[in-house]
Structure 1
Amino acid sequence: MHFATSALALVASAIAVSASTVTFWTLDNVQRTVYFTGNPGSAQINPVTVSNRANTTVNFPGQWVGNFYAVPNGQANKPGMLGEVNFSGWNGLTYFDVSAIVDPTDQNNVKQMWPKVSRNPMSGCQVFPCNNVYWLPDDVQTKTTTESDLITTLGSGSTGITFTQN
């Protein structure tokens, strides 16, 4: 009986580790493709097309670390503002941020990120520039949460959510 209980707990633990998501919420009428770049050792994730017709949720493999960026349809596949994530990181936390290091002029694609349930903390800007993104490599802007489901906004517009600054 003890073995069966332990095995069940192990399976439940593995499922919990692999149950990470990012839901993309498009705030304008631009259709985009979101591209994912995993760090070495992280699984490859295929690009997804998103629009304002419905939010699009992408499932991430357990302990995935990397980033994503959005490109409006018809434009060149060139990284811009990044959403960076580390699911099941140190102490089991999810680490995330919006990064302007690659292309700070990309101000209409990846905008904001936050934990789905608590909505706190939030990384990014509704209107750029702001002091809540990575602008320089040594900025201290990484956010953490115990949640494994994040929301990321894309495009110009407002969610109607008021966030508190951390």
Structure 2
Amino acid sequence: MARPKPETGVKVKTVAENRRARFEYYIEDVVEAGIALTGTEVKSLRIGQASIAESFAEVKDGQMWLINATIQEFSHGNIFNHEPKRPRKLLLHGREIDKMNNAVTRQGMTLIPLSIYFNGTGRAKVELALGKGKKLHDKRETAKERDWQRDKARLLRDRG
């Protein structure tokens, strides 16, 4: 009897998260992408040594690449260790790459990684989003809305 397939998009262990992305950008479309890694990169991810705060994705020669993401060197990697900020290939279908590339070139959007995580089968995945940059007044409005939601929850908790 075949083992049941895990659901797609289920995050078993989140390694790195770009918390600033939702504040800086309007998030339009989110896609789950595989990521091509070496052995020491996977080991570093499993112990949680990664940062995607200043990273982005771009299309080169019909392939999607994750640029400027930092995965620290593995402590026991010796000569087989990897370069921490090397470009990493993202694994997507050609249709998805074309769709995202068209949005970037025609509509001026940006490809932002929201998180790196391990799914139910133990594979490293990147949650990639198409985003449009916010202006300063939009960021103020977002902060004001977040503060109001926090105050409203506090008032309801104290009253109830």
TM-score by length of 1: 0.26
Higher relative contact order (CA 8 A, sep 6+): 2
- In terms of fraction of residues, the more helix-rich structure is 2
Bigger radius of gyration? 2
TM-score by length of 2: 0.27
